């Protein structure tokens, strides 16, 4: 098999996808704008060939790179980056080079939040009322119908970037006084805890691995208010969450891909669909899957791609949490105190890349515990602020 990774060096932990594919016998071919000498040593060892392009946004350069790799290695069987950012580029290249997977035709329902809601509803999942707004009058009419608060977000966008909350008509009018340059999706604010249904499917569309995350608060609030955040895997997946997730997988006909579905769990225990992503959850979450289950999800993904086989046993012996810290806060406990106090429990820690910092913090700790109380105690200790 010849498999092309776009931007295989980013995020930094994703070199493990290339490493696992190569270990199982694939030809792993990389295309990116990072100089070869800067690549992680294990990524260099995993790549059969690396094609440097000065600008990944120049599609002609990517076509030239794909053409060269096809000429030298033969038919390209797979292409991915596991990144939301490059999904449209991937789809275009798959379409142009006749590669199986998400193509331009299937992309809108994956990228547009307005169409995601249609797919949620097709799967029998409740969603918040919402519309695409282009004018102030349309926004006002919608607000009169459903009431405030409202959330506005780009219909096509990644994460919580450029997402706003309106608590009254004046706030919304101020936003819509200058027409947005992109389509904005306006929806009723839903109060609740954020939960996810995440996993991996095989060639037949069967789910071979699934997990769930719960967040200390919403990503929008974390970014806009510059708060700390932590989130953790659940040891027991709520049955309604699993059933809803399985229906969405079927509705989208997801095959040999990771998925990441977001929901709100309301105070009255309703599950309300938020967004879908056809990729692994971001940050260090793939590593959290490993620590929560004592598995290697990178190897298992490669095993699916090459042999349609998932061999790991999933028992979820631990909750695994990501706990982020932001450098503008004055914390009570130092990094050294954290490492010494939780020796053998802090599974990983690292500086977080700048583009992820608004959501995840400037430094992150991955910890695990059999009990949720243990996770919450560690989060409180790591996040404790000086008066």
- Residue 99: CATH number of its domain: 3.40.50.20
Burial label, 276 (beta-carbon count in 10 A; 0-12, 13-18, 19+): buried
120: which residues sit within 8 A by CB, 6+ positions away? 126, 127, 248, 273, 276
| Alpha-carbon dihedral sign for residues 235, 238, 239, 244 | negative
pLDDT of residue 14: 97
Q: Does 88 map to a domain?
A: yes
- CATH number, domain at 159? 3.30.1490.20
| Residue 137 and residue 95 share a domain | no
Closest by CA position to 3, among listed 13, 14, 17, 312: 17
CA distances from 89 to 10, 57, 82 (A): 16, 9, 12
Statement: residue 114 has pLDDT above 70: yes
| Residue 90 and residue 236 share a domain | no
Q: Which of 162, 188, 214 is at the close of a domain?
A: 188
Q: Does 120 map to a domain?
A: no
pLDDT of residue 158: 66
| Residue 294 and residue 211 share a domain | yes
DSSP SS3 for 272? strand
Q: Which of 171, 188, 205 is at the close of a domain?
A: 188
Q: Does 89 map to a domain?
A: yes
Tokens of 330: 């004055």
Tokens of 364: 């992150």
Q: Does 250 map to a domain?
A: yes
pLDDT of residue 151: 94
**What's the structural domain count of the chain?**
3
User: What is the per-residue pLDDT across 265-279, written as a single tens digit (0 to 9) for each?
Assistant: 999 999 999 999 999
pLDDT of residue 179: 75
Statement: residue 42 has pLDDT above 80: yes
Q: What is the average per-residue pLDDT within 12-19?
A: 97
Q: Is the peptide bond before 11 cis (omega within 30 degrees of 0)?
A: yes
Closest by CA position to 246, among listed 265, 259, 235, 231: 259
Q: Which domain holds residue 161?
A: 129-188
Q: Which of 188, 209, 227 is at the close of a domain?
A: 188
User: What is the per-residue pLDDT across 325-382, written as a single tens digit (0 to 9) for each?
Assistant: 999 999 999 999 999 999 999 999 999 988 888 889 999 999 999 999 999 999 999 9
| Residue 248 and residue 179 share a domain | no
């Amino acid at each position: 098999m010849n498999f092309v990774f776009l931007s295989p060096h980013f995020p930094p932990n994703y070199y493990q996808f290339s490493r696992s594919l190569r270990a199982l016998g694939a030809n792993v071919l990389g295309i990116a704008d990072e100089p070869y000498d800067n690549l992680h040593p294990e990524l260099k060892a995993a790549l059969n060939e690396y094609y440097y392009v000065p600008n990944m946004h120049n599609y002609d350069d990517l076509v030239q790179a794909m053409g060269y790799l096809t000429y030298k290695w033969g038919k390209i069987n797979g292409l991915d980056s596991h990144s939301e950012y490059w999904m449209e580029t991937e789809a275009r290249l798959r379409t142009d080079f006749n590669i199986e997977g998400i193509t331009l035709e299937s992309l809108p329902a994956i990228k547009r939040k307005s169409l995601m809601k249609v797919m949620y509803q097709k799967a029998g999942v409740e969603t918040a009322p919402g519309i695409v707004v282009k004018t102030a009058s349309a926004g006002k009419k919608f607000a009169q119908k459903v009431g405030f608060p409202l959330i506005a977000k780009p219909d096509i966008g990644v994460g919580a970037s450029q997402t706003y909350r309106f608590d009254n008509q004046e706030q919304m009018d101020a936003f819509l006084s200058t027409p947005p340059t992109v389509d904005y999706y306006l929806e009723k604010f839903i109060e609740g805890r954020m939960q996810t249904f995440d996993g991996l499917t095989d060639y037949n569309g069967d789910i071979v691995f699934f997990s769930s995350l719960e967040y200390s608060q919403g990503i929008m609030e974390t970014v806009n208010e510059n708060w700390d955040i932590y989130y953790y895997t659940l040891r027991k997946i709520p049955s309604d969450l699993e059933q809803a997730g399985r229906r969405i997988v079927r509705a989208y006909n997801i095959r040999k891909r990771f998925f990441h579905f977001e929901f709100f769990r309301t105070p009255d225990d309703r599950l309300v669909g938020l967004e879908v992503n056809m990729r692994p959850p971001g940050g260090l979450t793939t590593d959290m899957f490993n620590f929560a289950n004592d598995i290697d999800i990178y190897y298992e993904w490669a095993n699916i791609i090459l042999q349609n086989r998932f061999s790991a046993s999933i028992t979820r012996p631990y909750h695994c949490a990501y706990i982020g810290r932001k450098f503008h806060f004055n914390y009570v406990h130092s990094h050294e105190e954290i490492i010494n106090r939780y020796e053998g429990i802090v599974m990983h820690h690292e500086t977080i890349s700048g583009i992820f910092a608004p959501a995840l913090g400037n430094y992150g700790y991955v910890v695990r515990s059999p009990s949720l109380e243990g996770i919450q105690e560690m989060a409180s200790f790591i996040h404790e602020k000086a008066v």
